Amino acid sequence: MSNKISVLLVDDHSLVRRGFRRILEDAPDITVVGEAGDGEEAVRLAQQLKPRLIVMDCALPGINGLVATRRILEKSPDIAVLMLSMHSEDTWVRQALDAGARGYILKSAVDMELVTAIRRVAEGETVLDPQVARPAALKGERNYGLTVRELEVLQLIVSAPTPSPCTAPILWMRLAFTRPLNWWCMPSATGW
């Protein structure tokens, strides 16, 4: 049992967690030791259960998966984190790897890809979903993505139950003063 890969599943949808658990139960070398539905619970359970690997969703209520990953790895750098997300954009991939994740796969991955990715990340490899373009940060290009803090603020703004009328202008002013003009003209940066 000690040579099994212990896994903590983190996703805010219980149905998704149950599906991942069922997939992983079929792998004889993987055991699911716990489940978390948000970032705070993930940080707490990571310290309590000490899993070898965490399968972490990026978009979580409260603190997101990126922030939770940073907090977990500050206290337990030996835990491997595999981000599992529906987001294939370079910014998410780069931010996940910057946060310390050792892998990033899409939720659309087939069952065997998830099991294989867990095994490879547990062995120390960096795993990227084949459908995800190699992020700019890995190519040496770091000038056009949002910072971790900018993503945190943006997530707080969009997840607020009643956003303040002054929060969005503050973020845009921050971005306007920190981004070069050509960044704003890039279709991928502005969503055009």
- pLDDT tens-digit series, residues 77-128: 999 999 998 888 888 888 999 999 999 999 887 666 899 999 999 999 999 9
Structural domain including 167 reads: 148-190
| pTM recorded for the entire structure | 0.69
Task: Answer yes or no: do 123 and 163 share one domain.
Answer: no
80-85 vs 30-36, strand pairing mode: unpaired
Look at residue 8 in the predicted model and tell me its pLDDT: 97
- The number of domains in the chain is 2
User: Are 105 and 130 spatial neighbours (Cβ–Cβ below 8 Å)?
Assistant: no
In a domain, 143, yes or no: no
Could you tell me if 98 and 29 lie in one domain?
A: yes
The confidence score (pLDDT) of residue 163 equals 53
Residues 178 and 157 in one domain: yes
In the chain, which residues have pLDDT < 50? 1, 135-143, 181-192
Distance CA 1, CA 25 (A): 14
Assigned domain for 80 exists: yes
* Residues 79, 56 share a domain: yes
Amino acid identity of residue 40, one-letter, is E
Question: What is the C-alpha separation between 80 and 1, in angstroms, rounded?
Answer: 19
CATH of the domain at 70: 3.40.50.2300
Residue 44 near residue 71 (C-beta atoms within 8 A): no
- 83 and 159 belong to one structural domain: no
8 Å CB contact between 46 and 8: yes
pLDDT of res. 137: 45
- Whether residue 123 sits in one domain with residue 46: yes
CB 103 within 8 A of CB 7: no
Q: Are residues 103 and 28 in the same domain?
A: yes
| pLDDT at position 78 | 95
On whether both 88 and 165 belong to a single domain, the answer is no
